[in-house]
Amino acid sequence: MIEQTDSGAAAYDVRPISAEEHTRFLSGQTTASFLQNPRWSAVKREWEAQSLGLFDPSGPADAAPLGAALVLFRRLPVPAMVPVLGGKRLAYMAEGPVMDAPTADLHRMLPPLIDHLKASGAFLIRMGLPGVLRHWEAKEVRRALAAGENTSISELEPLDSGAAGSPQPETWRRQLKELGFQPPAASTDFEAGQPQFQARIPLTDDQGQSLPIDDVLARMDQSSRRQTKKSTRSELTISVGDESDFPAWQSLYSETAERDGFTGRPLSYFRSMYRELNASPLSQCTLYLAHFEDQLLAAAIYVRQGEFAWYVYGASSAEERKRYAPRALQLRQIEDSLEAGCQWYDLGGLSPSLDPEYPLAGLTRFKTTMGADVVQTLGEWDYPVNPLLARAFTLYMARR
């Protein structure tokens, strides 16, 4: 018997798919995140993983999926042999599921997906559907940050509602609430997982045509443009590294982590990321290096998949600062993104706070002076299958 939603439409069938079938589906989804690439599961080795397909129940048995999700599972921090608790897992979908139809009805998609994950032992389902709710121009955000008259980016007038003015993310937000999902809590800090507010440099015009490099650089503030131009005259050698260069990367990255006060990832993580994403026909992972003579001054890890490009990690030396090596690498990544026909160059998350004295204000300032607009995504929503366990797990992660 085919299960139906309240609207009378048949709910999707949910079943595991192979990595190959998952890859074929994503090959037609040019804005899907690399976090949904099935090869990503091999990078996140501390998690279990499953590729799931969403199918039209009235379609033929060999039909392609209408949607797909890479689900990462993480067990509760208790021994596996403990009764009941030992088999419970967090089910996490970063930037997923990815859907073929941009107007997909979540009432058809999510209930069978929830049922499948429940049967897999999920006590909490955390999901970050791709989509943009609001979009603010870089120059307006940096102007508001300098003025200090607003407390949050959310108070500013957005450019549009969602990507290309689409109302679909607002529809999804309403449907998520109707289905019992809990929205991300408002915060000026970075949340666990993917931040809701992202900094992205647009690389195409309103007609979808690639912008000239001069138009992209014109989005920067005067200081950033000047430093970027100086970097091109600083006798730097910009090169693309390979696996043999990762020890040098790690040394510079560790220096950066110690100087800036964050906990870095191990060398094995970056090697795995490089190998796995380059083993996929969907994605490309590049290590860029900036040398002055024989001295490594800056390095960056860049990922491209479809029409999106990401500046994922960066490292820099405290030496020869006036050569602006990190700026030279940013310029190279923007140029390569334009050459690949990308829509956006993503600089990662930022805080929505517009308090100039807020600890994360410097990050917002840097990214918007680089010409990055701010987009508010749907964020990551929680479905607490077991509310008590979900609450305990959230408290545990907050303490960590």
**Which one has a higher pLDDT value, 6 or 123?**
123
What pLDDT digit, counting tens, does each position of 319-347 carry?
999 999 999 999 999 999 999 999 999 99
DSSP class of residue 37?
S
- Whether the per-residue pLDDT at 2 is higher than 50: the answer is no
Nearest in space to 126 (alpha carbons), one of 98, 94, 104, 170:
94
pTM beyond 0.75, yes or no: yes
Higher-scoring residue by pLDDT: 60, 117:
117
Cα 18 from chain centre: 23
pLDDT digits (tens, 9 = 90+) for 369-384: 999 999 999 999 999 9
Rounded (10°) angle between helices 267-279 and 246-260:
130
250 neighbors 270 (Cβ within 8 angstroms): yes
Mean pLDDT over residues 10-19, rounded? Answer: 95
pLDDT bin (cut points 50, 70, 90) of residue 394 is confident
What's the whole-number mean pLDDT along residues 223-240?
A: 97
**For residue 160, what pLDDT is reported?**
66
pLDDT > 70: percent of the chain: 92
pLDDT digits (tens, 9 = 90+) for 84-109: 666 789 999 999 999 987 778 999 99
User: 2-6, 13-17, 151-155, 364-368 — which is least confidently predicted?
Assistant: 2-6
CATH architecture of 133-166+176-377: 3-Layer(aba) Sandwich (3.40)
User: In which residue are the tokens 């918007």 written?
Assistant: 368
Percent of all residues in the chain with a pLDDT value above 90, rounded to a whole number: 82
Dihedral over alpha carbons 270, 394, 190, 259 (to 10 degrees): -50
pLDDT per residue over 272-292, tens digit each?
999 999 999 999 999 999 999
Separation between Cα atoms, residue 385 and residue 90, nearest integer Å: 10
| CATH superfamily, region 13-128+380-399 | Gcn5-related N-acetyltransferase (GNAT) (3.40.630.30)
65-88 pLDDT, tens per residue?
A: 999 999 999 987 766 656 566 678
**Nearest-angstrom CA–CA distance, 38 and 51:** 7
**Tokens 């100087």 — which residue?**
259
Q: Tell me: the pLDDT tens digits for 199-215?
A: 999 999 999 999 999 99
- CB distance 338 to 331 below 8 Å: no
CATH 3.40.630.30 domain residues, the chain: 13-128+380-399, 133-166+176-377
> Rounded to whole angstroms, how far apart are CA atoms 246 and 287?
8
Q: Please, which pLDDT band fits residue 190 given cuts at 50, 70 and 90?
A: confident
E strand or H helix that includes residue 226:
helix 222-231
In angstroms, the first-to-last Cα distance of the chain is 45
